[in-house]
Homo-oligomer: A and B are copies of this chain.
Amino acid sequence: MTPPLIGVLGGMGPLATVDFLHKLIVALPASRDQEHVPTIVWNVPQIPDRQLALAGTGETPLPAMLAGIARLNAAGATRIVIPCNTAHLWFDALTADSSVPLIHIADAALAALARATSPAGPIGLIATRGALRAEIYQARFAAQGIPFLTNTDAELDELFTPGCYAIKNYELERGGKLLEHAGRLLLERGASRLVLACTEVPIGLTHISSELLPISIDSTLALAEVCVAYWQQCSHRSRE
């Protein structure tokens, strides 16, 4: 049997990849290095900007992402994950080109949401304009009858997008506050829980120790939890 190995298509952005690898460790209480999830990480941030491509002002990231998928397959990955929600707009094309299955971050986040206690009221969905337009999350919410709210175009322009790029520029305090503001507006409009459907968001909210975190589903952590479950299942099978 091929030993289990999580392939990580990273670098989108670099800090989100680091946050994902950190959460893989935190999500698995281990007493020895050797118990942790093995990964191979293609962490090449030269992949063209996803948000610019979707806005029509930048080149497509698909060829660079496909090159990464090919490297991860060649290196022996048995599952592939992408700690970037917006990159999942190209999920079907990436899956079609991969010998091994990709795990979808929105499926991971929905599974985490299903495990969480559900206060009454709609979900506040925080995501990039590209991810919102592609309805990556909304299609899943609709299929499960989950009501949701999203930020307005003006809120994306003034709060979310600059907050997201601030995190990429390592301005964590400024980015965290902008992203928290975007989340608070959803709560004021009636959201009872947030889904952080952009992997820059939990980095910012954690940096400012935001009060929104306890009512948030962190898509990065959710993806790490699915990887830990896969690894533990494989380890369990190999001991039988």
Contact = CB atoms under 8 A, between A and B. Distances in A.
A168 interface: yes
Interface stretch (A38-46, A126-134, A176-184): A38-46
B21 A33 contact: no
Nearest to A29: B170
Say how many copies of this protein the assembly contains.
2
Contact of A39 (B38, B39, B44): B44
Measured as residues with beta carbon below 8 angstroms from the partner, the interface class of chain A is 35 or more
Interface string A6-40: 00000111110110011011100111111110111
Interface stretch (A68-76, A135-143, A145-153): A68-76
A5 interface: yes
A190 interface: no
Contacts of A170: 25-26, 29
Given A41-B40, A71-B76, A34 B22 contact: no
Contacts of A49: 32-34
B21 A18 contact: yes
